[in-house]
Amino acid sequence: MKVNCNIFFELMTRHAYYESGWCECFSFSADEDTARLFKRYQIGIAAVAGGFKLYTFGRGLTNLVDSLNAAGPGFFQININCSDPTFYNFTELPTNWIGSIEYNTAYTSAATANAAELYAKLLPDAQPGYAGKIIINFNDLTSLNGRPAFYIEFSPRATQWQYYVINQSAVYLSSPVIEDKQHQTSFEGPQQVTTVMGQPALFFSSGQRLLPLSNWPKYKFNLLDRLPPKSQGTAAFATTAKMVFKGLPNPDPGYVSPVLVNNRQQLSSPMYVYL
């Protein structure tokens, strides 16, 4: 016997930190009351890349919503589980905030291409066992034409990138610089500093320019040594550069420090490079 599976709700989470474009550290589960409703009305939750879908068997959406409203609670609660504690570092969230995130289908953008964005509400207190929750109001299930589809949008945090170059091998450096191949991004410095471990280092910083974090090498910076221009008679030759370290590391979101940029509290991403 063939049984029709009707998908009546779907949600996707987008996050530009990931090369895939979706939030890979999230999973979703029904809370206890919602799980009982799922069992009673034979509703399933299916995980998909970056989100989930809710489905039922052989029942129309209007009939389902009528039955759910008769049950009383008025909404489903889907908990957001986060497998990566550095999510709060690599996501654009308040730097001094440690709490949970709530989404509600009552607070959305206008639907575009049959999908609407859920707006985040930052709660001051962390919830034991989950990072946030999604409230799906039964009456909102019929608010969009066709199958209700929603999405959540996250932005990667932009930090001040800092490189500490520790010249253990005493490599001769005439005029070291850090830049990308296209010469579109250059770093301030170097400055002679001492690391927290007491090692002398050359310090480079992206300064006032904050660069977004990513889980793949979106930016490819090199450490170069610019050699002084040579001259032969009256003809001057252009300054040349020697590659010292190709492909400097990108930040680890697990290591961030507070920094003041343009009189605003931001986060920095310190990295250590050994020659």
Domain residue limits, the chain: 5-154, 158-274
- What is the C-alpha separation between 99 and 87, in angstroms, rounded? 12
pTM recorded for the entire structure: 0.86
Q: 159: which strand partners?
A: 211
| pLDDT for the residue numbered 144 | 61
Task: For 185-231, write each residue's pLDDT tens digit.
Answer: 789 999 999 998 899 999 999 999 999 999 999 999 999 998 776 65
Task: For 9-59, write each residue's pLDDT tens digit.
Answer: 999 999 999 999 999 999 999 999 999 999 999 999 999 999 999 998 877
Buried b (16+ CB within 10 A) or exposed e, 59-77: eebeebbeebeeeeeebbb
Q: Provide the 10 A C-beta neighbour count for residue 97.
A: 11
Instruction: Tell me the residue ranges of DSSP E strands in the chain.
Output: 5-15, 26-30, 43-48, 51-57, 75-82, 100-108, 116-123, 132-137, 149-154, 158-166, 176-180, 188-194, 200-205, 211-212, 221-227, 231-232, 235-236, 240-245, 257-261, 264-274
SS3 129: coil
